Structure 1
Amino acid sequence: MLTIGLIKEGKIPADNRVALTPAQCKWIQQHFPHVKIIVQQCDHRCFTNKEYERAGISLLQDVSDCDILLGIKEVPVEQLIADKTYLFFSHTKKLQPNNQQLFKTIINKKITLIDYECLEHDDGQRIIGFGFFAGVVGAHNGMMAYGNRTGYFKLGRVFESKDYRQLIHTYFGVRLPNVKVAVTGSGRVAHGVVEVMNLMGVTEVEPDEYLEKKFTYPVYVLLKGADLYTHRESKTYGRNDFHQYPEMYRSRFLPYTRCTDILMNGVYWSEHAPRLFEVNDIDDSFSIETIADITDDLNGSVPINLGDQSITDPVYGVDRITHKKTAPYLKSSIDVMAVGNLPNELPRDASRYFGEQLIKFVLEDLIKGGSAIIDKATLVKKGQITTTYLYMKEYGGL
C-alpha cells in the first residue's frame, strides 16, 4: 500500500490552496486501490476537514507514516520529516537566498524533493501550476486598481466572490473607458489575463495597430516572446535560445510604454534576462499608470516592483521621480499590483484545476515510482543533488 499525505501548510501567512480536492482524493482511491490518501488536519484550507471526511478520506494530525507528502508552498524547515519524498513549490532553483536554509535542510535530512515548478513536458512547457488563476486574479486586480485610480469604474475584490463563476457575473454592466492594455507572456498567466480581458469586453488588436492607432473602445495587445525580445546581433528571436542565453537579448517593449495605460505582466524572468524597461525610461513620455506584475519578481522584468503586498492590500505607488514606494493612486506615482499568492483569492477553483493536471500528467508515474518527467523535476534524491541541478551544490552547502 502506497500512502500519500496532504500536508498542512506551515508557511506564514498560511496558504489555503490544496494539491488535491476531496472529490479528487476520492477518485484516486477508487481507481488506485493500492493507494491510500491521508489528509493532515487543518482549519484554514479552502476545503474543510469535514469535506474530506465526507469523501471518505482519513484525517490525521501526524502524517509521518506517509510515503509521499504533497504541499503547496515551502515547508518550514522544522516541519520537514527526514527520509520522505515531498512535492511542493520550493522556490530554490534560482538560488533564492531566503530559501537556502530550506534546501540545505532537505539535503541534511536525506529528503527527496520533486518541485512542481520543474515538472515539464518535452517542449519545456510547465505541466502543472496555478498560473491561469494567477492571471485571472491579477488581471482583475490590475483593472480594479486602474478604476480606483481614475474613478471611471468600480470593481469589487475577487475574494468577495464565492467562486470564478460568480466573479464573472460581477463584470456584467461594467463600462470601461477607451483604455489600452498591454499583456505580456504566452503561458498560463497570460491565458488567464486574456480570459478576463475578453469577459470585460476588451478587444484584442495587433501590435502594429496598438502602437499606431487611437481607439474609441478599450483594447489589449498580447505580446509574446518575439514581440518582446530580439537577439542583440542576429536581430531574431528563438525561444530555446532565449531561455539558454537570455543575456544575448534586448527588450523591444519600450515603444509600448508610450501608448499603454495598463501593463499586465505575465512573462517568465531570470536574472540575466532583459527587463521590459529600465527605471530611467520613466520620463514624460511614459504613459503607463497601472502595472499588474503578476509574475511578481522583485526588481525583475518590471524594475519598479519594490516587493510583495498582501491580498488585503495589493497595490502601492512608485514615485515617478524618486522611484520610492508611496501610497497608491497618487498623480505623481505609478501604481503597482504585486502579490505572490494571487490564486488564494479563488482557492477552490485554483486547487481543482491544479489537482486535475496533477492526476492527468503526474500521479500515475509517481505511483509507479518515477519517470523521465519526474526525474527531471527531482532537485534532490535521498539527500543528493541530482545531475541536472549540480549548479546548486554551493547553495546547498556542499
Structure 2
Amino acid sequence: MQNTETIHIGLIREEKIPHDNRVAFTPLQCQWIQQHYTNVRICVQPSPHRCYTDQEYIDAGISLQEDLSHCHILLGIKEVPKEKLMAGKTYLFFSHTKKQQPHNQAMLQQIIEKNITLVDYECLVHADGQRILGFGFFAGVVGAHNGLLAYGKRTGLFNYRPVHTCHDLQELIKHYFGIKLPPLKIVITGSGRVAAGILEVMGMLGIKYIPPEEFLINSYAYPVYTQLKAGELYLRKSDKTYSREDFHNHPEKYECRFLPYVTAADILMNGIYWEERIPPLFTWNDLAKDNFRIQVIADITDDTNGSIPCNLGDSTIDNPIYGVNRITRHRTPPFQKGSVDMMCVSNLPNELPRDASQYFGDQLMKYVFEDLLQEESEVIANATIVKKGQLTERFAYLEGYVHSSS
C-alpha cells in the first residue's frame, strides 16, 4: 500500500461469543488518526456490545458502516469466527494460533483458504524482543481488585463492588474512598505488566510494601504486601543462582522457593509467567497441610493446573470466584471452610474495557501504526503469521497444525 493513496481501515465488530467489549481504537483516537494522516479513512462496524457506543464514534466524526468490504486493513481484538472472515483482507487481532491451539485450527485454515494476511498483535515486538501490545496491566488491576473482593466476602470484613459495574477506572478509584482494609498480608509474584497493574492497586489503596525477608517473619497492624520477582522465586538447583536467559532456556534446572510464603500470606496474587517445564509455586500436598495460610488466590496469569496446581479452570466475570477443597481437591462453592478461594478469570481486562482500549490504542498508534501503512516493515513482517494465504517462513512450523484433521 502506498502512502499516497487513501488507505481504508475498518474496526470490526467482535463476533466471538462471549462478546468482548474492547476495541483497537477509541473514538478520539480514530479522530486523531484521521486528522494527522490525511490519506487514512476509518470506518467502524456498528456494535451493541462495544464499550464505546456507536454514537460516540459518530460524534467524533467517524463513519459507521456495516459493510467493510472496501477496507484494506481490518482491526479486531479477539479471534474472528471463520464464517465472518473476508477474503483477501489484512487482519490484525489476537489469533491464539502460534501455540497450535486446537480450537482455532479451523479459523487459521480459513485464513489460508481465503488468501488473507494475518498479523497477530501478540507477535508484535520491539527490537529487544519485548512485546509492544498487551492488556496485562489492566488484567493486573482487575485481578488484584477481585482478589481483595474475594477476601472481603470470605471474611466479612469489608465489601468491594465488582469492577465491571464501574464505568471506568476513575469510578473504581472513587469506590475505594473510605473503605478501610483490615491487617492482611499479600504476596505478589512477577515483574511484568500484570505485576505493574497489581502494584497500581496496592498504591491506590495505600497498602505498604515490605521486603520479602521481613514479610516472612513479622506481623503488622495494617495491610502489607511483598513482591517476588523471578530471581527471588527460582534458583538453579546446582549452585543456587539465577540467570534470566538460562532460566528461560532451562527452567527444569531450577527449583521454586515460594513455599515459605504459604505460611505467611493471606492472599496470593499470581502474575508470573509460566510454561510446563517451570516448577509450580507449591503442590497439592502443601495445600493440604495445616500451616497453609493463604485463603484467596488471584491467579491472574491463569494457567489451568499450571503454576497454581489448584487452578481447576476458568471462572467468569459474572462469577469470578470458586472454592477448591484442600483435601479432596474438588471444586466447591466459594467461601467454604476447608477450602481455598480461586479467582481465575481469563478475560480480566474486559471488566475495564474503556481504559484497556484506550491504553491499547495508544500503544498501537505510537509503535505500530506507521509501520502498518508502509509497503515493507520488519515489525509487521515478524508478526505476520499468514501472508496472502501462505504461512510465512517464521511460522512455517504451523504447517502440520494447519493440515492435520482434528
**TM-score calculated relative to the size of structure 2:** 0.94
3-state secondary structure, aligned to 1:334 = strand
Equivalent residue, structure 2, for 1:394: 400
How many Å separate the matches in 1 of 2:211 and 2:268? 16
- AA partner of residue 22 (structure 1): P
Q: Does 1:331 align with 2:341?
A: no
Measured in 1, the distance between the counterparts of 2:256 and 2:338 equals 26
Distance 1:84 1:114 in 2: 11
Q: Secondary structure at the match of 1:127?
A: coil
- 2:306 pairs with one of 300, 303, 313: 300
Cα distance between partner residues in 2 of 1:299 and 1:111? 35
1:272, distance to aligned residue in structure 2 (A): 2.5
Are 2:371 and 1:365 aligned? yes
- 1:268 corresponds in structure 2 to 273
Alpha carbons of structure 1 residues 330 and 343: separation in structure 2 relative to 1, 3 Å: same
Residue identity matched to 2:311: N
- AA at the equivalent of 2:326: R
Quote the offset at 1:373 in angstroms.
2.1
More displaced stretch, 269-278 vs 174-183: 269-278
| Contact 1:174–1:200 under 8 Å retained in 2 | no
User: Does 2:146 align with 1:141?
Assistant: yes
Residue 234 of structure 1: how far off its partner (Å):
4.1
How many residues are paired up? 398
Structure 1 spans left out of the alignment, 5+ residues:
none
- Cα distance, 1:130 vs structure 2: 1.3
Give the RMSD, CA atoms, in angstroms.
1.5
Residue 274 of structure 1 deviates from its aligned partner by: 2.3
| Aligned equivalent of 1:342, options 340, 345, 348 | 348
Deviates more, 1:28-37 or 1:81-90: 81-90
Where does 1:44-193 land on structure 2 (aligned, <5 Å)? 44-193=49-198
1:371 and 1:244 mapped to 2: Cα distance?
29
Output the CA distance in 1 between the equivalents of 2:272 and 2:396: 26
The offset of 1:285, in angstroms, is 2.1
Which residues in structure 2 correspond to 1:186-265 (within 5 Å)?
Answer: 186-265=191-270
TM-score, length-scaled by structure 1: 0.96
- Mapped to 1, the partners of 2:238 and 2:388 lie a distance apart of 44
The one-letter amino acid paired with 1:353 is: Y
Distance 1:387 1:184 in 2: 36
In 1, Cα distance between equivalents of 2:99 and 2:310: 20
Tell which deviates more after alignment, 19-28 or 292-301: 292-301
The residue type paired with residue 99 of structure 1 is N
How big is each residue's C-alpha offset from its partner over 1:9-57, in whole Å with a ceiling of 9 and x where there is no partner?
A: 0110100111000100011111111111111111111111111111111
The more displaced of 379-388 and 352-361 is 379-388
**3-state DSSP of counterpart to 2:141:** helix
Deviation at 1:375, TM superposition (A): 2.0
What are structure 2's unaligned runs of at least 5 residues?
Answer: 1-5
SS in 2 for 1:395: helix
CA distance in 1, matches of 2:108, 2:47: 25
CA distance in 1, matches of 2:272, 2:118: 26
Q: Distance in 2 between matches of 1:390 and 1:235?
A: 38
Letter in 2 for 1:167: L
Q: Structure 1 residue 310: deviation in Å?
A: 1.5
1:176-197 Cα offsets, whole Å, 9 max, x none, are 1221111111111111111111
Q: Aligned residues: percent identity?
A: 59
Instruction: Output the CA distance in 2 between the equivalents of 1:112 and 1:309.
Output: 33
Segment of structure 1 superposing worse, 105-114 or 360-369: 105-114
Q: Secondary structure at the match of 1:250?
A: strand
Per-residue Cα deviation, 1:360-397 (whole angstroms, up to 9, x for no partner): 01001111134222222222222222233333222222
User: Aligned with 1:394: secondary structure?
Assistant: helix
Separation (CA, whole Å) in 1 of partners of 2:279 and 2:390: 33
Query: After TM superposition, what 4+ stretches of structure 1 lie above 4 angstroms from structure 2?
Result: none
Secondary structure of residue in 2 paired with 1:168: helix
